[in-house]
Structure 1
């Protein structure tokens, strides 16, 4: 009988002891796998959360409004040129926002009230206004809705019409221009944000309301514009907006070199905080510079906490498993001290004796690995979810996320951990290495004894 077969048979000499050892090893291996699963799931979630958190910086003129009609100070193109030269800034989207009023109406619905928009347009808003209290005079609550939605509340006064936002931008397909998360061109081609061409992109809702197609024309600021593209967005604001290039809007409004706001894109979330400081220093007291740095850090805080917990627990579980296996093999080897002496007396080499005990330890470890995988499959996701939720609750109770919580919390709660072949292979490799090293050390020390010493002690 070769040493490997003998070692495997020896693993089952004492059924009760074997069962106890296998269960203990299985639980230790299972805990290691659970922590490894949690660690990998959290690492993946951190990467996903970082990609979902905006790495943009908002730049607004101090005491300025979001549109020309709001009044206040304006930024200049030269101001934004300083921002473009700052390290880690990959793009600056410059905006000149305004609103135009359908001709012959005012946006208050009050006879004789002057329009608050800076210009007029031949277009009509795709939305109608229904008044909850029947007044719609700027005091009562209103509901904006498309005619097809079937709104049937109170009706607005005669002459009431919504203004239409018009945005001049250097990046026409950027959804943040219209407070949306997506812009889809349904027909035509996007305009060039750097050229003054009197071309415009209109929302699909505006196009349908005004029977517009690509190459159709309309007027705004008493100038004729041509529809270059029709787009659709996922927000109400976006679906009632006209988009033109920044030079076009500056020309139409007569506000050459004027900027109402800008958005700078930073190359990574890690550089966001330092870039905000650099932009603030570059613009001095001209603009308010803000970002989601604080909320981004708050969103990642529970994940970082779980990542550290799972890492330390993984290390602890691996060390515990190694110690358990080493002590087990020392116990087994010492119990078979006489057997080792006999093997030495009949000519067995130290290496051959070590191989026998290594085969026995490997058998016990593989049996424990089976239990460990089962524990990992059943416990990986529940343990990970519990760790994340507890960390989030702890942070929320401490008030560190601020009002409304940090962005990304809803997606963090949906974290899903599962065992994969890579986790199983990592666990198996670690268990085999620990088993071989632990059994080799234990058997090496005891196999160096001389047969005469064993017989004398007997």
Structure 2
């Protein structure tokens, strides 16, 4: 019988012991894999937070977030000044529009608060053939009732308010918070720095208006073609349209004006200094530079703590698996002293006998790894969610103040801190990818080999004459 067949047979000599060893190994290996998967998921989420919102500053016209209309509008020259500030890696200009359904005048549409420009005078309201995908709700109707009464002394006329559709002109394929647009079907708009009658529609808005890629609609009498559909993650965020920046400026009739700038800094460590430098370069009377994610540093720090905890748990689980293998192999070597003595007496070399025990331990580890991988597949997401759940609440309470919190005028997908970083923080997806699974199993097998080498070396100390004399 060759050494491989003998090793496999020896692994199943005692079914009760084999089952117990495999069960313990499965728990240890499953926990190790789950912790490794959680560690990788949190690491990926930290990178995502840093890349999408952690290094983003928002520039608005000075006072433009209040009810008084603000100061002077931002222009392309402002964007060039911002781009010249050290540590700034990109500047994306956006133009906000409010699209009012063409039927709103016949239904008693209330005026948009703040006049044509809305709050702060940054937006421009124009008509569209689109119908909003979401209802105004209690707050929308309360804030836009206008307090109208009948001039004939009768009962006040009930006025139907329809939410305006948010339209954002952007100079790159990102939303107003600096996050890359999640285009679910179709394509982007191509050159975002040129006028175009192509548009991107939110999924709920497209569904409401029975539009698909290639369909058409109108804004201010101009026909637009749906180039693609995007998913902002929320129903209100998907009640939106994206145009190229020059096209939105043309619709608004303000060719050189922008509503806000999304400024990306090269690292989180430089955000505070860059914010100060940017505010100085633009002037406090010209622009307001805000960092909408003040609580993000705390969240990232907490997530890195979760990374450390999961890494320590991974190492501890591997060590447990190694100790289990070590103890069981020592036990087997002692049990089989007579068998080892006989094999050595008939000429079997130490390396062959040692290899037999190593292969036997690997058979047990393979069975434990199969069960452990299934445990990790079911438990990883729950473990990752439990590890980061406390961070979601602490990060949410640390979000910046100001109108809307987070990114002022965040537009679709923005929604303040909870709509940006908070949504990312609470959506850690710990999926068992082949790469992570392979890395974890490689570590497990490495520990298994190390754990079985000690008893394998013990076989070299067994002297056949002493064993046979004892018999």
TM superposition score normalised by structure 2: 0.62
What is the 5 A alignment of 1:373-388? 373-388=373-388
Shift of 1:352: 1.2
| Aligned positions of 1:194-205 closer than 5 A | none
In structure 2, C-alpha distance between the alignment counterparts of 1:344 and 1:203, rounded to whole Å: 77
Cα gap change, 1:432 to 1:396, in 2 (>3 Å): closer
SS in 2 for 1:244: helix
CA distance in 2, matches of 1:53, 1:190: 24
Aligned to 1:249: 254
Deviates more, 1:267-276 or 1:356-365: 267-276
The structure-2 alpha-carbon separation of the partners of 1:69 and 1:170, relative to structure 1 and needing over 3 Å to count, comes to farther
Go from structure 1 to structure 2 and tell me whether the alpha carbon gap of 1:283 and 1:437 turns closer, same or farther (over 3 Å shift). same
**1:316 aligns to what?**
316
**Partner SS for 1:419:** coil
Which residue in 1 is equivalent to 2:449?
436
Alignment of 1:55-454 (within 5 A): 55-62=55-62, 64-65=63-64, 70=69, 72=71, 81-86=80-85, 87-91=87-91, 93=93, 141-143=143-145, 154=157, 171=171, 176=176, 212-213=221-222, 243-244=248-249, 249=254, 262-266=260-264, 268=266, 270=268, 273=271, 274-283=273-282, 285-286=284-285, 287-393=287-393, 395=394, 399-401=397-399, 406=418, 407-454=420-467
Larger Rg: 1
Deviations 1:306-351 (A, max 9, x none): 3332222111111111122112212221232333233222222111
| Change over 3 Å in CA distance of 1:42–1:243 after alignment to 2 | same
In structure 2, do the counterparts of structure 1 residues 68 and 440 end up closer, same or farther at CA, with 3 Å as the change threshold?
A: closer
Distance apart, 1:116 and its partner CA: 10
Residues 251-307 of structure 1, C-alpha deviations (whole Å, 9 max, x = no match): xxxxxxx97864143265647614323313434544431123424335545543433
Give the Cα separation in 2 of the matches to 1:190 and 1:430: 45
- In 2, the alpha carbon distance for the partners of 1:265 and 1:379 equals 39
> What is the DSSP-based 3-state SS (H/G/I as helix, E as strand, rest coil) of the residue aligned with 2:289?
strand
Q: Determine the structure 1 residue equivalent to 2:234.
A: none
Distance in 2 (alpha carbons) for counterparts of 1:202 and 1:9: 67
User: Per-residue deviation at 1:6?
Assistant: 1.9
Distance 2:366 2:190 in 1: 62
CA distance in 2, matches of 1:56, 1:92: 11
1:116/1:21 CA distance change after superposition, 3 Å: closer
Residue 12 of structure 1 is matched in structure 2 by: 12
Following superposition, the deviation at residue 47 of structure 1 comes to 4.3
Contact 2:42 2:307 in 1 (8 A): yes
CA contact (8 A) 1:89 1:267 kept: yes
CA distance in 1, matches of 2:15, 2:31: 24
Matches of 1:259 and 1:4, distance apart in 2:
76
1:279/1:25 CA distance change after superposition, 3 Å: same
Report the CA distance shift for 1:244/1:141 in structure 2 as closer, same or farther (over 3 A).
closer
* CA–CA separation in structure 2 for the residues paired with 1:424 and 1:175: 34
Contact kept, 8 Å, 1:333 with 1:446, in 2: the verdict is: yes
The 1:353/1:243 distance shift into structure 2, 3 A limit, reads closer
By how many angstroms is 1:425 displaced? 3.4
CA distance in 1, matches of 2:327, 2:198: 75
Name the Cα RMSD after superposition.
Answer: 5.5
TM-superposed deviation, 1:455: 4.8
Cα deviations across residues 409-436 of structure 1 (Å, max 9, x unaligned)?
Answer: 3344344434344444334433333333
1:5 and 1:323 map into 2 onto residues whose CA distance is: 25
Judged with a 3 Å threshold, the aligned counterparts in structure 2 of structure 1 residues 325 and 193 are, in CA distance, closer, same or farther, namely closer
Q: Which runs of 5+ in 1 are unaligned?
A: 99-106, 133-139, 145-151, 157-162, 184-188, 215-227, 251-257
